[in-house]
Amino acid sequence: MYLTRQTDYTMRLLIHLAVQGDRRSTIQEIAEHYGISRNHLMKVAHRAIQAGYVEGVRGRTGGLKLAKKARDINIGEVVRAAEDWTMVECFEPRSNRCPIARGCGLQLVLQEALEAYFAVLNRYCLDDVVRRKALLIQLLGLKTA
């Protein structure tokens, strides 16, 4: 399974903001530290703000910071919200055109697998992901406060 760039960048954004603490970071700064597209990151940041994970402040002294404590941001919730989990056509009843959907057990098997996947992700929060904060700060080339 491969998560989309949107989910990858969402997690990178949250990790960056978590290690920064209360310091605001700009999209440009975060994009440069990760070597990723500023445009993609802007879209991701907008969605993260809408989802309530990130707080955005406009203006000269503006920037982004976490809207919640890292321990209150559940990894399973973030990944679930960032991805489209329609793994096969029959997951979407309104657009399902599979002729065997009513008799096939694949949907149940895949649904069980997804539930197991999220059961693991749900056990972790952003704080767990940034436990090695000093190393992450060093790897991202950030200044410590």
Query: For 94-120, how does the pLDDT look when each residue is reduced to its tens digit (9 = 90+)?
Result: 888 888 888 888 888 999 999 999 999
The answer to whether 54 and 17 are in contact (CB under 8 A) is yes
2: CATH:
1.10.10.10
pLDDT digits (tens, 9 = 90+) for 48-80: 999 999 999 888 878 999 999 999 999 999 999
Q: Which helix (H) or strand (E) holds 61?
A: none
Please tell me whether residues 63 and 91 are part of one structural domain. no
Please tell me whether residues 137 and 69 are part of one structural domain. yes
For CA atoms 21, 65, 59, 9, the dihedral sign is positive
At residue 145, does pLDDT exceed 70? no
* Confidence class for position 124, pLDDT limits 50, 70, 90: very high
Q: Residue 103 and residue 105: Cα distance in Å, rounded?
A: 7
Please tell me whether residues 144 and 119 are part of one structural domain. no
Give the CA angle between residues 65, 27, 68 to the nearest 5°.
15
Please tell me whether residues 80 and 68 are part of one structural domain. no
Two tokens, residue 124: 């972790």
Q: Residue 137 is part of which domain span? A: 1-73+127-145
For CA atoms 137, 11, 29, 18, the dihedral sign is negative
Please tell me whether residues 55 and 1 are part of one structural domain. yes
* Confidence class for position 92, pLDDT limits 50, 70, 90: confident
Domains identified in the chain, total number: 2
Please tell me whether residues 110 and 84 are part of one structural domain. yes
Two tokens, residue 21: 């603490």
